[in-house]
Structure 1
Amino acid sequence: MLLSGKRALITGGSSGIGFAAAQALGEKGVALAITGRSPDRMAAAVEALRKAGASVTGIVADVATADGRRQTLESALESALDAMGGLDILVNNAGGVRAGRLEQVTEEDILAMIAVDLAAPILLTRAALPALRAGGEGMVVNISSGLGLVGAPFYAAYAGAKAGLARFGEALRRELKGEGIHVLTVYPGATDTPMMASNKAGPELGFTRESAEAVAAAIVAGIETEALEVIRGGEARAAMIALNRDDPLAIDARFLDLKARLEEAVRGHAAL
């Protein structure tokens, strides 16, 4: 896909991977609409993007609550379409996490993760399909997680939602094949973003962080080449994925050795 002149809507675009992706796409000449929950953070993000020369519209929207989710999504999409005159790329990036033992994670937090990480992307994609199809060369980019490929203890609900998003994207890609809309799934590893600020796990526990800018560069490259997926983490992640497929009990044993330290390190990891 040639990016210059395209139009993109990025959820969760005021910080983290979403903001870095907005910066990278803006540099390629893509018109932007970004959503986020915080008015102050949104204002700062829009100002920074415009200073860098991007054409951007900021939309304050919160899809974490059940009340009005459909109206919020439809309003955000309508605002983006009004501002840009159409849509070529939808980046489902907004996400939320609450780590901990499953029986200690509240029902409210579990439902919030399912809402933000899975239900909202599905509903927004459904609403955006007519606009994406009208452009003749549309793309949906779903930001899953490395935990959607290899599940880790204390992230059961989050991993389930992110794996669901990945399979949603795969099924939708096949559903839309030949209709002018491509679907790309991105699997970031631990990334240095506000969402990860409360996670105290380091490289010794498998959480080697990379910059949001590096992830964004890979996303843009994936869009340009119309890749099927982008998996971050390099050879170590690839080896873990292969081992999880061929000998999952070996991964079980590895996590068993780390479990007590990992539980303590991620106990406070929450961003919902």
Structure 2
Amino acid sequence: MTLDGKIALITGAGSGIGRATALALAARGVHLVLFCRTAAKLAETATLAASHGVRIETLTGDVADETACAAALALARDRFGRLDILVNNAGNVRAGRLEATEIADIRAMIEVDLLAPILWTRAALPLLRASGDGAIVNVSSGIALVGAPFYATYAAAKAGLARFGEALHRELLDEGVRVLTVYPGATETPMMASNKAGPELGFARETPEMVADALVDGLFSGAREVIRANETRRAMITLNRDHPEEIDARFRTMKPRLEAAVADHHAP
């Protein structure tokens, strides 16, 4: 995909992977519509991205609000005349035992991590089809590939998003819109600040810029998926598919430590 001159809409653009993706795309000459909840964070991202000489439009709102989705797409259409790339990046997490997780937190994860990307994609498809060279990027999670204890609902939502992308990719074959699914591992973002688990518990971290660069490279190369994982993590993904009982054994030994480390993990 040729990126220079394209128009991209990014949700969750105020910080973390969303901000890093905005800057990486701007560096490739992509004009941006940036969306997130917090005006101050959004303004910071816009200022940084504008230094690359691209045009920037911003809009604040709740990604789970269908009227906000319609407003963001209208902004892209009115200011740029089209939309080429939709990046469904906004996310929500609340770790902990399922029976101890508030129903409101369960609903919020499903709405932000799964339902919102589906509805934003559905609404954006007419513009993306009109582009003739459109792309949808869904930011899933490594937990969608290897389900971790204390992340049951988050894993369900992110795995659902991954299969949504796979099915939609096949639905859109030869129709001028492709789908890229990105599976970040643990990433140093504000959403991870309350997670105290380290590499010994399977949470070796990388920077948002590393994820964003891989995402943009995947767009450029036409990849279907980008999995952020070192050699050990890739081996776990394969083992989880072929011999999941061995992954069970690993989690059995670390459960108490992991539960304590992620007990306060929640989206800011």
Residue by residue over 1:125-178, the C-alpha shift from the partner in whole angstroms, topping out at 9 and shown as x without a partner, is: 000000000011100000000001110000000000000000000000000001
2:9–2:87 Cα contact (<8 Å) kept: yes
1:61–1:76 Cα contact (<8 Å) kept: no
Of 128, 132, 143 in structure 2, the residue corresponding to residue 132 of structure 1 is: 128
Mind listing any 5+ residue stretches in structure 2 that lack a counterpart? Answer: none
Amino acid at match of 1:75: A
List 4+ stretches of structure 1 deviating above 2 A. 51-54
Please name the residue that 2:77 is paired with.
Answer: 81
Stretch moving more, 162-171 or 77-86: 77-86
Please name the residue that 2:3 is paired with.
Answer: 3
Please name the residue that 1:43 is paired with.
Answer: 43
Amino acid at match of 2:183: Y
Residue by residue over 1:56-103, the C-alpha shift from the partner in whole angstroms, topping out at 9 and shown as x without a partner, is: 111101124xxxx21121112112222222100000000000000000
Please name the residue that 2:19 is paired with.
Answer: 19
Give the match's secondary structure for 1:8.
strand
RMSD over aligned Cα, in angstroms? 0.9
Give the match's secondary structure for 1:43.
helix
Please name the residue that 1:34 is paired with.
Answer: 34
Amino acid at match of 1:15: S
Mapped pair 1:237 → 2:233: yes
Stretch moving more, 150-159 or 55-64: 55-64
Mapped pair 1:72 → 2:72: no
Q: How many residues align?
A: 268
Please name the residue that 2:263 is paired with.
Answer: 267
Please name the residue that 1:169 is paired with.
Answer: 165
Stretch moving more, 231-240 or 89-98: 231-240
Mapped pair 1:223 → 2:223: no
Give the match's secondary structure for 1:53.
coil
TM-score normalised by length of structure 2 = 0.98
Whole-angstrom CA distance in 2 between matches of 1:190 and 1:120:
22
Mapped pair 1:193 → 2:189: yes
Give the match's secondary structure for 2:34.
strand
Give the match's secondary structure for 2:223.
coil
Mind listing any 5+ residue stretches in structure 1 that lack a counterpart? Answer: none
